[in-house]
Amino acid sequence: MTSIDLPYTKRTLANGLDVIVHEDHHVPIVAVNIWYHVGSKNERPGRTGFAHLFEHLMFEGSEHHNTGYFPPLQQAGAQLNGSTNTDRTNYWEVVPTSAVDRALWMESDRMGYLLPAVTRERFETQRDVVLNERRQNYENRPYGMAIMAITGALFPPDHPYSWMTIGSADDIRAMQLEDVQAFFRTYYHPSNASLVLAGDIETPRAFDLAERYFGDLPPGTRPLPVIATASLGHEHRLVLEDRVELPRLYMTWLSPAMFATDDAELDLVADLLANGKTSRLYRTLVYERRIALDVSAHQHSRELGSFFLLAATAAPGQSLADIAAEIDAELDRLSAMGPTDGEMERGLAQAEAHFMYRLQTVGGFGGKSDQLNAYNVLRGTPGFFSADLDRYRRATHDSVRSAAERFLRRDARVVLSVIPRGQPALALAGSDPVSVS
């Protein structure tokens, strides 16, 4: 077994900012990566989509560089971006080694001095840009609204995972500039943030620079953790009409939170069910019986609780009922007999290789800097890389079987049929119409 790890050094500044450094001198670039521990889970009904809209404002300028975040960094040869999900908001730059100072100056300026740069005009423009993002990625995309119908049924209305990070269009339209200030003061400060510098930089210099640019920012108050629970008492069958040619079936279950017991097992279950031609459902539905065009399964691991999502698109003329019956039969088999030895070997080989591949890039989404922040923010320590892999190494035939049996139950799930408009008969029997906007 290869031993692989992601080494780092961590210090916490006096103002509460976690700083993590990882050296990799192969290419003369440095990744700057900041996580703020805030996402759509911190929103409340009626204000959905705010965390993400706020992320857009972070690229419009800050007090001491009040003309847009991109130009000085692109001029330095940087690549940069940010993203918001349910649990966190991340921002990153990958810069040539010669431009680290500039990137840290920019990041620290928006952490400390954003508000003077947020004007009504910028706010309203970005609100419209976000509405366009929503139209492009959800409303104008086939099956794009399915995930909204699913999360709305999986979680109770006051659970923050019941809405999407993009938010509802009405909520986005109703947002006010005044909301920005309170949000910034609550969530955007050193004690709710974590900074990683990874790449072509010596550790002592990295800490010096972090102290220099971020050390004098006021700490702020660490926000209270969000607590929310969800449970499903029975099977919910829903149907959504969409502009699509072929019906698609989604089955979704509530599942253990990221890094919790059984989270890795359900990852392995997703793989053996639907990853590649060898997987059970691909083989049955697509390869042998040819009743589906595609099938996918994924354990969506989240901080407050996860969900396991299985989806299959019907081949022309094939019924969702037939597909559902095959899936149920396969889940029954897995719950009763567990994985084969071959499936366990394959799952482990793939996990080992994919952890190795994760060490190839220092920056960007999913690069080493992003992973160190994920572990630090969601696990409390950046040093979880090899322990994370061990979760997969420790999985056994019994633990995988048992996870499938306990979580992928027929009597506690959301089953959504997405069907072509005007053809309700194509949905699973007993499905209630759901509307999302």
Partner 1 sequence: MTVVDRSHLPDVGPDPAFTFPEILRHTLANGLDVRTVEHASIPVVTIVLQVEGGSGADTSDKEGLAAIVADMVDEGTGALSAIDVSDALARIGGDYDVDVSPDVTVFSLTTLTRFADRGAALLADMTTRPSMRDTDFTRVRQLRLDRLKQLKDLPTAVAERAFLRLLYAQHPYGHLPIGSDAALRQISLNDTSALHSATFQPSRATLVVAGALPHKDLLGIAAGAFGEWTNAASSSTPVQRASAIEPSEVAPPRLSIVPREGAAQSELRIGHLSARRNTADYPALLVMNSLLGGQFVSRINLKLREEKAYTYGARTGFDWRRGLSPFVLQASVHTASTADAIADALGEIEGLRGSRPPTRDELVLAKASLTRGYPRNFETAQQVARSVAQLALYDLPDTYFAEFVPKVNAVGADDVMKAATRYLDTAKLSTVIVGDRSAIADSLGTLGLGMPSVLPPEL
Please identify, using beta-carbon distances, which residue of 225 and 316 lies nearer to partner 1.
316
5 lies in the binding site for partner 1 (CB under 8 A): no
Give bridge partners of residue 238 from the DSSP assignment. 416, 432
From the list 98, 176, 261, 396, which residue makes contact with partner 1 (rule: CB under 8 A)?
Answer: 98
Please identify, using beta-carbon distances, which residue of 4 and 329 lies nearer to partner 1.
4
From 272, 245, 412, select the one nearest 337 (Cα to Cα): 272
From 224, 307, 194, select the one nearest 258 (Cα to Cα): 307
Smallest separation, CB 134 to partner 1 (Å) = 9
215 lies in the binding site for partner 1 (CB under 8 A): yes
Beta-carbon count within 10 A of 165 CB? 21
Q: How far, in whole angstroms, is CA 307 from its chain's centroid?
A: 12
From the list 1, 178, 357, 411, which residue makes contact with partner 1 (rule: CB under 8 A)?
Answer: 357
229 lies in the binding site for partner 1 (CB under 8 A): no
Please identify, using beta-carbon distances, which residue of 26 and 234 lies nearer to partner 1.
26
76 lies in the binding site for partner 1 (CB under 8 A): yes
Q: Which span (136-144, 151-159, 253-261, 427-435) binds partner 1, by CB under 8 A? A: 136-144
354 lies in the binding site for partner 1 (CB under 8 A): yes
- Greatest Cα pair distance, the chain, in angstroms, is 66
User: Cα–Cα distance between 121 and 245 in angstroms, integer?
Assistant: 41
Instruction: Return the DSSP state at 155.
Output: S
From the list 7, 45, 46, 71, which residue makes contact with partner 1 (rule: CB under 8 A)?
Answer: 71
Please identify, using beta-carbon distances, which residue of 163 and 282 lies nearer to partner 1.
282
Q: Which span (41-49, 186-194, 277-285, 325-333) binds partner 1, by CB under 8 A? A: 277-285
Tell the residue number behind the tokens 């300026």, with chain if given: 109
Question: Token pair for residue 385?
Answer: 């890389």
397 lies in the binding site for partner 1 (CB under 8 A): no
Please identify, using beta-carbon distances, which residue of 232 and 344 lies nearer to partner 1.
344
DSSP string, 161-182: GGS-TT--HHHHHH--HHHHHH
- Which H helix or E strand runs over 399? helix 397-407
Tell the residue number behind the tokens 């130009």, with chain if given: 71
Give bridge partners of residue 314 from the DSSP assignment. 292
* 222 HSE (CA, 13 A, CB side): 10
> Could you say which residues in the range 152-191 bind partner 1, by CB under 8 A?
none
211 lies in the binding site for partner 1 (CB under 8 A): yes
From the list 226, 321, 344, 359, which residue makes contact with partner 1 (rule: CB under 8 A)?
Answer: 359
How far apart, in Å, are the Cα atoms of 301 and each of 140, 149, 280, 346?
A: 27, 19, 22, 21
How many residues at the interface with partner 1, by CB under 8 A?
Answer: 84
- Which H helix or E strand runs over 130? helix 120-134
> Could you say which residues in the range 103-132 bind partner 1, by CB under 8 A?
105-106, 108-109, 113, 124-126, 128-132
* 91 HSE (CA, 13 A, CB side): 24
- Specify the 3-state DSSP secondary structure of 292: strand
From the list 10, 11, 23, 96, which residue makes contact with partner 1 (rule: CB under 8 A)?
Answer: 96
280 lies in the binding site for partner 1 (CB under 8 A): no
Going by their DSSP bridges, the two strands 193-199 and 292-300 should be labelled as unpaired
> Could you say which residues in the range 239-258 bind partner 1, by CB under 8 A?
243-246
Q: Which span (40-48, 253-261, 304-312, 353-361) binds partner 1, by CB under 8 A? A: 353-361
From the list 1, 3, 26, 158, which residue makes contact with partner 1 (rule: CB under 8 A)?
Answer: 26
CB 432 within 8 A of CB 147: no
140 lies in the binding site for partner 1 (CB under 8 A): yes
CB 278 within 8 A of CB 408: no
277 lies in the binding site for partner 1 (CB under 8 A): yes
Q: Which span (38-46, 67-75, 331-339, 405-413) binds partner 1, by CB under 8 A? A: 67-75
Smallest separation, CB 315 to partner 1 (Å) = 6
